[in-house]
Amino acid sequence: MGTLLIPSSMAPPFGFLIGDVVVLTQLAKRCFAVSQTACGENDRLTCDLSSLHTVLQRVEEETAKPESPIHMPGKSSAQELRTLFKAYEKLLVTLDTILLKYNGLSKEGRSGRKVG
């Protein structure tokens, strides 16, 4: 995954944040699915990723509304979201990489014991 579409110095036009949150929502959903395989349905990481995915879906719904306070000129909401999105993107990309590698390991490799 590349960098988000977020220029830091300009006020976002309507619709700009929508694309960013859609990308993050999809990445959170993927991490959640991979976490279910790697950690199990009830693992803390899986539950936290499910919660993050739910929150991002709600933010996505809100950013889709042109009248949302997020899009009001002079509000710092959009900039705050941009900052959060960048942090979440970095976290989710790292988690995705780790979980995909973990799922590719054999049972012996997953156990944490030294193999060989």
Q: pLDDT tens per residue, the chain (116 residues)?
A: 444 443 333 344 444 577 888 889 999 999 999 998 888 877 899 999 999 999 999 998 988 888 888 777 766 777 788 888 889 999 999 999 998 888 876 666 655 554 44
Count of structural domains within the chain: 1
Let me know if residue 114 belongs to a domain: no
Residue 81: how many other CB atoms lie within 10 Å: 20
Let me know if residue 32 belongs to a domain: yes
Let me know if residue 96 belongs to a domain: no
Say what the alpha-carbon torsion angle 27, 33, 96, 10 is, to the nearest 10 degrees. Answer: 10
Let me know if residue 48 belongs to a domain: yes
Find how far residue 25's CA is from the centre of its chain.
6
Range of the domain at 40: 15-69+76-84
Let me know if residue 44 belongs to a domain: yes
CA distance 35 to 28: 10
Let me know if residue 30 belongs to a domain: yes
Structure tokens at 94: 């790292």
Let me know if residue 25 belongs to a domain: yes
Query: Does the predicted TM-score (pTM) go above 0.85?
Result: no
